[in-house]
Amino acid sequence: MNTVFKYVTRDGRELGYHLSTFCQVGPKEKAKQYNCDTPESVEAQRQTILENVKHVLDATNTTSMFAGVHADTRERCFPGLTFEDVELVAEQTDLSEPFYAYTIINE
Q: What is the mean pLDDT of residues 22-50?
A: 93
8-state DSSP, 11: T
Q: What is the pTM for the complete model shown?
A: 0.81
Q: Are 9 and 84 contacting, i.e. CB atoms less than 8 angstroms apart?
A: no
| Comparison of pLDDT for 12 and 37, the residue scoring more | 12
Beta strands in the chain (DSSP E): 2-9, 14-18, 25-26, 33-34, 86-93, 100-101
Check residue 102 and give its pLDDT.
46
Check residue 42 and give its pLDDT.
95
Check residue 95 and give its pLDDT.
66
Q: Are 77 and 12 contacting, i.e. CB atoms less than 8 angstroms apart?
A: no
Check residue 100 and give its pLDDT.
47
List, for residues 47-105, the tens digit of each pLDDT value.
999 999 998 888 777 777 787 888 888 889 999 999 999 999 999 987 655 454 444 44
